[in-house]
Structure 1
Amino acid sequence: MSDTQTETLPSQLVLHGDEDTPREFIVDLLRRIFGKSESEAASVMADIERHGAAVCGPYPRSVAGALLESTRRQVAAAGHPLLVTSETPKPCCELCGQPTARSEAKLMDRTIWLCADCVLAAASASQKLPSEEFNYTFGVLNWHFADVPRSQLVTTVRQFPGHMRADVQAAIDRLFASPVRLLGIAADRRYETLSMSALMQNDGFAAAIAPLQYNDVDIGEPTPARCLDNGLWLCASSGLRYAVLLAIHREYSRETGVRIEIMAPAGAAGSALVQQCFSALEDAVQAARTYRGKILSLDADSDYRGRSRGITVHRLPAVGRDEVILPEQTLRLLDRNVLNFVGTRDALRSLGQSTRKGILLYGPPGTGKTHTIRYLATHLPGHTTLIITAEQIGLLGAYMNLARLLQPAMVVIEDVDLIARQRESMSGCEEPLLNRLLNEMDGLKQDADILFVLTTNRPQQLEGALAGRPGRIDQAIEVPLPDEIGRGKLVRLYGKGLPLEDAVVAEAARRSEGTSCAFIKELMRRLAQASLARDGGKTVISTDIDEALDDMLFSGGRLNARLLGGAQAMAAG
């Protein structure tokens, strides 16, 4: 054997027991030098007591040498007679596990050792695809694993949430970029998830090979992600054959999932390959690049039963600070408690302070709470924003899993009073939803980079367990009806395409006292209609304001005024 080959062989360290070295010293040595857990160290110690010696390793030669030197130095410093030696383990094939002379082979990015028999079997398994086409999956799987008995095949399964489908697909495409073959599978029974055992059935229920079926999944980019419904990858690496099945898992009243099953020959090599594949898939999902930093909500069926079909990416225009028409004091409060807070999270964490936070935005309908959230979402760099409506609170668990995965995140729950009003006024089905919300807010780690923003039109109706306990809501911020300066800004903002003179802007702002942002937006649309009808949109005059305000506040009655956000103006009039 050459010096190079000798260098690549692993080494193992042997601890020889004696009657004078204390048991506690050996256990401590195993934990500090060898990095063993308490239970692992106890297991090694039991081997020493039972057999007089125990093996640690194998390790690469350079690692084994460093461990041996450190161990002997600690033993000498303590003055104990413990003997530690190094030896080369008996050669074993990593596929069948039998002691034998070894040959080096490459498995993905890892070097493994195979016996001569396994090398020959791998070489015979690397035959080219036959010229005939297969009609059923059992035929192609029998061909692919022709030299491996079914009893020697092992499958391993992982299931990923359906809303991470695009990330899972991207990881699979990278991992298995050059398969022996990629096949589509016919799935006739909607709620029966495909499995490897089902694909190997040769009977009246045999799965047929079908064209590959892709779905375009919107990920908020110009090009959607192409995701397979079902796919079977036949793969080979250094003569080791394996198969990968992707199947959509559907279960009534539950979120659709993505099921990955890998089948490989039994043994160390197959096991190592499978674990390597799943580690790469799990790393890809944890990285979760597809949806990070975007504004999202989970899809739900119209006849909602708690089932999510995927993710909707909201393409909202950026909102500048000058477009948020709020009193300057309110804007400063927002900046301090949200934008500045997020900017100091790392420093807060270093001082042992919590980095999670809850904000409550409250005020009359139509005052711009949703608009304010858009401003925050577009000014939190790198944050993922999750928007939850009250009727989707049943999906809160899925939303929070997504928030933890994609943090830093802002979780927005709109109209929270619909599920978090005072308990004495709740129906039987509402209280569990409130408890779920409270549990999720309390269950976050102190260092979680998650910001809750809740909105309500009726803060006085909120349950005290939510609104009256620090750590859930840390700051309430009123989003009030606009003052006269604010109304003037809104008139210009919503009427930016109209020929507005300063006098008209001032009159519209003065006469719309007590109205909401939504009211002024509708007012400007009516002024535009009046201008178009009179002179093609060339001018806006005082009479246009008279007619619009009369229709909106008085002619339509109190209900119309309340619907348009002008109830307080009507009351004042």
Structure 2
Amino acid sequence: MDYLTFFCGVLTGIVLFVIIKDVTMRLLSDKTSIPSLLRKHFRGKSVDDVCISERRFPARVRADIQRAIDAMKNEGVEILASVGVQNENIYHGMTLAGAMQGSNPLSSVSPEYETVDIGGEAPVRVVKNGFWMLRYQGEALGMLVSRMLHPCSPPSVNLHVQSCNTPAGTAAAESLLEKLESAIQSAPSYRGKILSLEDAGDEYSGAVAGIRVHKLREVEREQIILPDSTLKLLERNVIQFTKNRAQLANFGQSTRKGLLFYGPPGTGKTHTIHFLTRALEGHTTLIISAEQVQHLADYMTLARLLQPSVVVLEDVDLIARDREHLQTPGQESLLNKLLNEMDGLKEDAAILFILTTNRPEALEGALASRPGRVDQAIEFPLPDEEGRAKLVELYSQGMRLSEDSVAEIVRRTEGVSAAFIKELMRRSVQFHLEHNGTDTVSREDVDNALDEMLFHGGKLNLKLLGATSRIGYQSVES
């Protein structure tokens, strides 16, 4: 055998190998492509013989989208097959129309899941991008669920359903979408819980990525130590108001309400909100911190979806200051957005706004004085003598205090907040443990704790602990 013959043989072998490999890859690719699955499912119908219906949902409700999909089999939907989906171009969204026309190739892959925590219950395993071949009402349907990520808009989940372009096929597709949409709108994953929105990891987009479920500490009615006048306002304007919503609506009265909780730091505003989240049964609570006001529109979308709901905006003075003190157009924009959302709700909206502030004097007049935005201001004052005695009893549970120790605490703590007394109890126990005392916290332990808190940190320490700057000097004089 000469070298030329050998070389031709090797070259021929290489060419045949490349051709066979290319044909094999094409066949394998065709078998696993979404268009090939659709053609098989729809028995070779062309693009003109099918139609596609679409719905789009915020990505943050993807747990409820997945739960609605998982429940399809209980709604008379036969699931013939389901696969994961991969897009060759990650910068383009997935669409069935693009896949059928060849402009947006989609391939079937193993399903890829992410776990979404919905608080307390088992987390939901959510398919990132998936394709289902279905039969519903006697019609063949193809369904694509895909995540849409865009730097200029919040992430969304797109749901496409393909059917035969016939009255029966279109009706089946629309019926399925309506069932899914209804299940998603019921929002079983988040209704009645305490929520806030998470920011996306991509700080450039600033898009809302998901929902965080909170579990606040449990606060009972007996643990709310406030003056009788404050308790009556809370009872009438919150508890009784929500109980009477249906009757108010029958009389043509608005079922939405705005409340302003104001008072010095540490007087129980947040503590009371924790109680209300338990007392208002069936309500969903949305907690908005000052830095998240930029997502107010997203919060309000959730508030309307999850009615009856409570929208809590803490430290509202940070964005609702008097217009004369606003420094940038952006600050005024946030303020206007808040006012518009509060004023623009329908009269039958079952939404309760609770705004909190330590500085009511700094609030914008349009927010603080216009009815329909804030309907009732409720003051949380520093505790009086009776209140301080109740607070000592509340925060001394688990320890024994002598009667003269209680009396001394009440006498020396005029002008302090509830938070001050809570810390005083903890610090008294700490001194007690350091001295290896008996079961009873002694008067000396209390005196040491009071002295440290009142005198050993200066005026700044008093302010941090929630006390007026004059308390230490009054104690010295007494």
Segments of 5+ residues of structure 1 without an aligned counterpart are 1-130
- Partner of 1:471, secondary structure, is coil
Question: 1:331 and 1:133 mapped to 2: Cα distance?
Answer: 70
The answer as to whether partners of 2:78 and 2:135 remain within 8 angstroms in 1 is no
Question: 1:354 and 1:206 mapped to 2: Cα distance?
Answer: 52
Question: 2:238 maps to what in 1?
Answer: 338
Following TM superposition, by how much is the alpha carbon of 1:491 offset from its aligned partner in structure 2, in angstroms?
2.1
Q: Go from structure 1 to structure 2 and tell me whether the alpha carbon gap of 1:359 and 1:238 turns closer, same or farther (over 3 Å shift).
A: closer
Greater RCO, 1 or 2 (C-alpha within 8 Å, sep 6+): 2
Residue 358 of structure 1, aligned match among 244, 258, 272: 258
The answer as to whether partners of 2:52 and 2:97 remain within 8 angstroms in 1 is no
Question: 1:133 and 1:536 mapped to 2: Cα distance?
Answer: 81
1:233 aligns with 2:132: yes
Q: Deviations over 1:473-517 (max 9, x none)?
A: 111000111122222222232221223233222222322221112
The answer as to whether partners of 2:112 and 2:129 remain within 8 angstroms in 1 is yes
1:273 aligns with 2:172: yes
Following TM superposition, by how much is the alpha carbon of 1:188 offset from its aligned partner in structure 2, in angstroms?
6.8
Question: 2:55 maps to what in 1?
Answer: 158
1:80-479 to 2 correspondence within 5 Å?
134-176=31-73, 178-186=78-86, 191-200=91-100, 206-237=105-136, 240-301=139-200, 303=203, 306-428=206-328, 429-479=330-380
TM, length-normalised to structure 1: 0.73
The answer as to whether partners of 2:62 and 2:126 remain within 8 angstroms in 1 is yes
Moved more, 177-186 or 450-459: 177-186
Following TM superposition, by how much is the alpha carbon of 1:401 offset from its aligned partner in structure 2, in angstroms?
1.1
Give the residue type in structure 1 aligned to 2:37: V
The answer as to whether partners of 1:162 and 1:257 remain within 8 angstroms in 2 is yes
Q: Deviations over 1:116-163 (max 9, x none)?
A: xxxxxxxxxxxxxxx999443343333323421123222121101223
The answer as to whether partners of 2:392 and 2:406 remain within 8 angstroms in 1 is yes
Following TM superposition, by how much is the alpha carbon of 1:274 offset from its aligned partner in structure 2, in angstroms?
1.2
Q: Go from structure 1 to structure 2 and tell me whether the alpha carbon gap of 1:402 and 1:530 turns closer, same or farther (over 3 Å shift).
A: same
Q: Go from structure 1 to structure 2 and tell me whether the alpha carbon gap of 1:133 and 1:193 turns closer, same or farther (over 3 Å shift).
A: closer
Q: Percent identity?
A: 48
Give the root-mean-square deviation of aligned CA atoms.
2.4
Q: Deviations over 1:516-568 (max 9, x none)?
A: 12222222221121122111673312222222222222211222221121234
Following TM superposition, by how much is the alpha carbon of 1:187 offset from its aligned partner in structure 2, in angstroms?
5.1
Following TM superposition, by how much is the alpha carbon of 1:202 offset from its aligned partner in structure 2, in angstroms?
6.1
Question: 2:112 and 2:473 mapped to 1: Cα distance?
Answer: 61
The answer as to whether partners of 1:360 and 1:475 remain within 8 angstroms in 2 is yes
Give the residue type in structure 1 aligned to 2:357: T
Give the residue type in structure 2 aligned to 1:460: E
Segments of 5+ residues of structure 2 without an aligned counterpart are 1-27
Moved more, 383-392 or 134-143: 134-143
- Partner of 2:320, secondary structure, is coil
Following TM superposition, by how much is the alpha carbon of 1:352 offset from its aligned partner in structure 2, in angstroms?
1.4
Q: Deviations over 1:49-96 (max 9, x none)?
A: xxxxxxxxxxxxxxxxxxxxxxxxxxxxxxxxxxxxxxxxxxxxxxxx
Following TM superposition, by how much is the alpha carbon of 1:391 offset from its aligned partner in structure 2, in angstroms?
1.0
Following TM superposition, by how much is the alpha carbon of 1:191 offset from its aligned partner in structure 2, in angstroms?
4.8
The answer as to whether partners of 2:260 and 2:374 remain within 8 angstroms in 1 is yes
Q: Deviations over 1:398-424 (max 9, x none)?
A: 111111111111111111000000001
Following TM superposition, by how much is the alpha carbon of 1:439 offset from its aligned partner in structure 2, in angstroms?
0.6
1:47-62 to 2 correspondence within 5 Å?
none
Q: Go from structure 1 to structure 2 and tell me whether the alpha carbon gap of 1:142 and 1:571 turns closer, same or farther (over 3 Å shift).
A: farther
Question: 2:89 and 2:406 mapped to 1: Cα distance?
Answer: 64
Following TM superposition, by how much is the alpha carbon of 1:317 offset from its aligned partner in structure 2, in angstroms?
3.6
The answer as to whether partners of 1:367 and 1:479 remain within 8 angstroms in 2 is yes
Question: 1:162 and 1:321 mapped to 2: Cα distance?
Answer: 37
Give the residue type in structure 2 aligned to 1:247: S
- Partner of 2:154, secondary structure, is coil
Question: 1:258 and 1:225 mapped to 2: Cα distance?
Answer: 16
Question: 2:381 and 2:319 mapped to 1: Cα distance?
Answer: 23
The answer as to whether partners of 1:172 and 1:281 remain within 8 angstroms in 2 is yes
Question: 1:488 maps to what in 2?
Answer: 389
Give the residue type in structure 1 aligned to 2:414: E
Question: 1:465 and 1:190 mapped to 2: Cα distance?
Answer: 47
Residue 553 of structure 1, aligned match among 450, 454, 461: 454
Q: Go from structure 1 to structure 2 and tell me whether the alpha carbon gap of 1:457 and 1:187 turns closer, same or farther (over 3 Å shift).
A: farther
Question: 1:236 and 1:476 mapped to 2: Cα distance?
Answer: 57
The answer as to whether partners of 2:199 and 2:208 remain within 8 angstroms in 1 is yes
Question: 1:536 and 1:308 mapped to 2: Cα distance?
Answer: 53
Give the residue type in structure 1 aligned to 2:220: G
1:27-46 to 2 correspondence within 5 Å?
none
Question: 2:164 and 2:438 mapped to 1: Cα distance?
Answer: 77
Following TM superposition, by how much is the alpha carbon of 1:253 offset from its aligned partner in structure 2, in angstroms?
4.8
Q: Go from structure 1 to structure 2 and tell me whether the alpha carbon gap of 1:132 and 1:192 turns closer, same or farther (over 3 Å shift).
A: closer
Question: 2:428 maps to what in 1?
Answer: 527
Question: 2:15 maps to what in 1?
Answer: none
The answer as to whether partners of 2:257 and 2:353 remain within 8 angstroms in 1 is yes
Total equivalences in the alignment = 442
Question: 1:263 and 1:149 mapped to 2: Cα distance?
Answer: 12
Question: 2:472 and 2:153 mapped to 1: Cα distance?
Answer: 48
Question: 2:404 and 2:205 mapped to 1: Cα distance?
Answer: 54
Moved more, 365-374 or 248-257: 248-257
Question: 1:94 maps to what in 2?
Answer: none
Following TM superposition, by how much is the alpha carbon of 1:318 offset from its aligned partner in structure 2, in angstroms?
3.2
Following TM superposition, by how much is the alpha carbon of 1:220 offset from its aligned partner in structure 2, in angstroms?
2.3
Moved more, 207-216 or 364-373: 207-216
Q: Deviations over 1:333-367 (max 9, x none)?
A: 11011111111122211111111111100000111
Give the residue type in structure 1 aligned to 2:362: Q
Give the residue type in structure 2 aligned to 1:441: M
